[in-house]
Structure 1
């Protein structure tokens, strides 16, 4: 029984060879720089790409005229002659394949219903005329090795082998063989080349697999490394790189928790329904998230770098173990309601290590901001976990909400610039008390204790602002 795998040939530019010499697991070429929608500003920033279907007869260099429309019509028993291809049953499968990539990174694919039939691989996209990425088809080698091939940016055109009779008409798992082939080719069209792994299954490997549906984790790292994560498309393409454009996580009630980026945990396997993937692309990238507290609360935040450890290598080359968890040394910061006042910073751990903000008491209700940032020009997937608990104590000066007022509360005051001088006075007044319910039974501080307290206050009054915390072909049996 044949192993349903395909092998792809793509155009390789000199710049892609330079990029591939640096181990990033996925193998990047240049991203799109000019599209029908405008000029892309820089790598790591989002783009809009249109896609269209070349009419039958469109010339494919070295191949002859395209017949992709009539081919798919025959496979799906379509008798309509309408020019509106969106009514075809096979159109939905193509659209789903482009939309899946749109869900996972900073590319917005939009169907362009017009295609003027100009030669494939030789025409730039024009709004209302033809797409950036165009689909064609021709007989390549029949039911044997080649299923499709694609060109890299700024062309991105995709050609199906219309000599395949049974492969693309297989309806299993919503025509997974067709969709995985197309999604693989779209990966090339956006600037990703082949990568090989001996212990993980990735969409951009030279051989197709139907053991998964669509892009896998390292493929997602690839699109986000070239165009940023999907949040970069928000705010009109400005992303969430500042407090003014922060991703709103809503009001966080006491006892609630929230995770961002959690679908990147585990192995390289990604389910077709998973969409929650976020990353820092380079040293200039930052992700801001806002949340609102309706009552005094205690915040916990954990930042975990993700990506997995797996074998990787360029096509036909040697493989080595790759740690995608430690590509960029991330930091985690908490800002006050104005978006500028730094309350806490966690930046003590190195690349691949978690950063923590523990038991941060936020006595003022309102909006707060969390920032994730990196220090290296490398894409880093991550998960951000936030938890909120109620500040239940009513004892003034109990800043860590553990039911007593002691030296730990002074450290909490020192580390959190949201507390005021008046809060310090409350701590001094209640130092040594256990709780409001036991005020009467707790002795007053002795004169010696008060003297030591005053000395400690003078020595530590100035608190820091920050604390550490090619052709796609079948394989053999």
Structure 2
């Protein structure tokens, strides 16, 4: 498939307070560091961008307007879905791991890797010549070590993964097929190929990225002096990569009165995707626990440790569209008192398409959320909680449920909108397990899994609190148990257990995300691991 839609990004570190160009006005505001809510305006770390046609580029303040106009003239206008909020286009409909990925709100698994040096990268309408990729050679030389810049790319994908229904798997293979436009194929090449070559010297265009399907990224290797800026853990470089990959997820530029990642300029005053960016990503791919739309696919709260930790909060959740349902399961083994709070997440700001009008939006009042508790049969509703109203917390306190697996189902109240509503959920279940007077609570297991992703084996490591029996359950995300590993720790200290990627019958399990639930010395911890074959 030939990819014709390209999203781009360019600039320098020079700050700006505002700029009017080609009839478009842009104002620079910022957000608090590591925040996902609006903050006061600041010009620090902003870089100006313009999105037109099938590409978008960012320009430093003071860039020759003739050069900007020359780039703009070469590009036709893309079609995006304007909703006076995030701007979304096509989503990934097929990946190397999944021939079909469903529809809006369904999760994806994306493989990514570095384009081999020497593979030809064609020139663009911005004027850069066709040249071989030299990303690895240049960055390995210019950064403190080859590991540094690679880790920043890994961290960029990880930050997106922690907020939307996308799982990223780094691979080291690439057959050197023509770039761009070669589909990802397991064992052959990744879905997302990241390369680089000289574009226009230091400053100017920093990078560009193709829209789905196809999410390849090209970085201007002459801009290494800008990327090798250690401030805020290389945030300039990481925000560049995260912005570009936002285009690779199908997100276009927006115009806002607050700092968001997909605005047409880069800032270093916040870290990665913000509220509007996350809502756009979740609209396309759901939240981090999708798919959990039906009772058979309910997210197992016991595996996540929610029920074992009073007041446990799940974050980065959403009802991504009107019909979406979020099912959660928990095991009330002895009966007890259940407390649940569903808290809409968001804030007030203005948003609109890049270069177009903006309107006010309050993103914790997009749609009215409610939830119900269902009996073990998955069909009998025990109670519905929906009284608080739009934007308010829905709270259930000390509701008694009997023994057995029960379900929490979060949904929108009928007739209250079809857009993406983010929320957090706090769950407590009291079965009178308070620590007795004088008793010392169990120490943490410090559970880790590495390598992760893996193929075909990985090692589960934890710290046994004392001589004890241990059990590791390997579960699919649907909650189905596929393997149980048991053993005995002879003394307190480090324990390492290898899983070979097979079930209890000795059959190789398929690629995907698995939950490794480890129990030892009265403590339970769970980690996710991704197997890719």
Do both share a fold (TM > 0.5)? Answer: yes
**39-48 or 63-72: which moved more?**
63-72
- 2:399 equivalent in structure 1: 360
Q: Residue 34 and residue 294 in structure 1: after superposition, are their counterparts in 2 closer, same or farther (change >3 A)?
A: closer
Q: Residue 240 of structure 1 contacts residue 289 of structure 1 at CA under 8 Å; is this kept in 2?
A: yes
CA drift at 1:47: 1.0
Distance (Å, rounded) in 2 between the aligned partners of 1:133 and 1:254: 38
Which residue of 189, 197, 206 corresponds with 1:138?
Answer: 197
Q: Which has the higher helix share?
A: 1
Which residue of the partner structure matches residue 417 of structure 1?
Answer: none
Deviating more after overlay: 348-357 vs 125-134: 348-357
Residue among 238, 255, 262 paired with 1:196: 255
Pairwise CA distance, 1:108: 1.2
Aligned-partner Cα distance in 1 for 2:80–2:144:
46
1:255–1:390 contact (8 Å) kept in structure 2: no
Taking structure 2 as the reference length, what is the TM-score of the superposition? 0.62
Residue segments in structure 2 that go unaligned for 5+ positions in a row: 1-12, 16-44, 56-75, 124-128, 433-533
Of structures 1 and 2, the one with the larger relative CO (CA 8 A, separation 6+) is: 1
Instruction: Provide the residue aligned with 1:385 in structure 2.
Output: 426
| Alpha-carbon offset, residue 333 of structure 1 | 0.4
Aligned residue number for residue 46 of structure 2? 5
The change in CA–CA distance for 1:252 and 1:307 in structure 2 (over 3 A counts) is: closer
Aligned-partner Cα distance in 2 for 1:158–1:335: 46
Q: Distance between the aligned counterparts of 2:333 and 2:388, measured in 1?
A: 32
- In the alignment, which of 297, 309, 313 is matched to residue 259 of structure 1? 313
The aligned counterpart of 1:29 is 89
**Structure number having the greater strand percentage:** 2
Q: Secondary structure at the match of 1:288?
A: strand
In the other structure, the counterpart of 2:9 is none
Please say if residues 32 and 153 of structure 1, whose CA atoms lie closer than 8 Å, have aligned partners that are also in contact.
Answer: yes
Q: Deviation at 1:282?
A: 1.8
Shift of 1:243: 2.9
Match of residue 76 from structure 1: 143
How do residues 83-98 of structure 1 correspond to structure 2 at under 5 angstroms?
88-98=147-157
Distance in 2 between the 1:359 and 1:386 partners? Answer: 11
Matched, 1:157 2:216: yes
How many angstroms apart in 1 are the aligned matches of 2:308 and 2:140?
Answer: 57
User: 1:19 is matched with which residue: 58, 76, 81?
Assistant: 81
Residue 274 of structure 2 corresponds to residue 216 of structure 1 = yes
Contact 2:342 2:426 in 1 (8 A): yes
> Residues 77 and 357 from structure 1, CA distance in 2 versus in 1: closer, same or farther, beyond 3 angstroms?
closer
Q: Does 1:64 align with 2:130?
A: yes
TM-score (norm 1): 0.68
In structure 1, the partner of 2:301 is: 249
Corresponding residue of 2:357: 318
Q: Distance in 1 between matches of 2:53 and 2:170?
A: 24
Specify the alignment match of 1:438 in structure 2: none
| Contact 1:310 1:321 (C-alpha < 8 Å) held by counterparts | yes
- CA gap 1:29/1:255 in 2 versus in 1, 3 angstroms: closer
Q: Sort the Cα spacing of 1:88 and 1:354 in 2 relative to 1 into closer, same or farther, 3 A.
A: closer
Does residue 125 of structure 1 match 2:137?
A: no
1:201-259 superposed Cα distances (whole Å, 9 cap, x missing partner) = 11111111111222122211121111001111xxxxxx322333322333888994333
Question: RMSD between aligned alpha carbons?
Answer: 2.8
1:231 partner SS: coil
Residue matched to 1:240:
292
Q: 1:163: how far off?
A: 1.8
* Structure 1 Cα separation of the partners of residues 335 and 326 of structure 2: 25
| Post-superposition offset of 1:111 | 1.7
Give the corresponding residue for 1:114. Answer: 173
**C-alpha spacing 1:246/1:162, structure 2 compared with 1 (3 Å):** same
In structure 2, distance between residues paired with 1:339 and 1:165: 56
Q: Specify the structure having the higher radius of gyration (Cα).
A: 1
Count of aligned pairs between the two proteins: 358
Tell me the distance in 2 between the aligned counterparts of 1:254 and 1:92.
Answer: 33
Q: Secondary structure at the match of 1:191?
A: coil
- By how many angstroms is 1:9 displaced? 4.7
Unaligned regions of 5+ residues in structure 1, if any?
A: 79-86, 233-238, 262-276, 392-477
CA distance in 2 between counterparts of 1:151 and 1:303 reads 37
Equivalent residues of 2:53, 2:78 under 8 A apart: no
From 74, 84, 108, give the equivalent of 1:47.
Answer: 108
Q: Does structure 1 conserve the Cα–Cα contact (< 8 Å) formed by 2:370 and 2:384? A: yes
Of 331, 354, 366 in structure 2, the residue corresponding to residue 292 of structure 1 is: 331
Per the TM alignment, residue 296 of structure 1 is displaced from its structure 2 partner at its CA by 5.0
* Stretches of 4+ aligned residues off by more than 6 angstroms: 13-16, 251-255
Q: SS of the residue aligned with 1:39?
A: coil
Q: Residues 336 and 173 from structure 1, CA distance in 2 versus in 1: closer, same or farther, beyond 3 angstroms? A: same
- Of stretches 187-196 and 89-98 in structure 1, the one that deviates more from structure 2 is 89-98
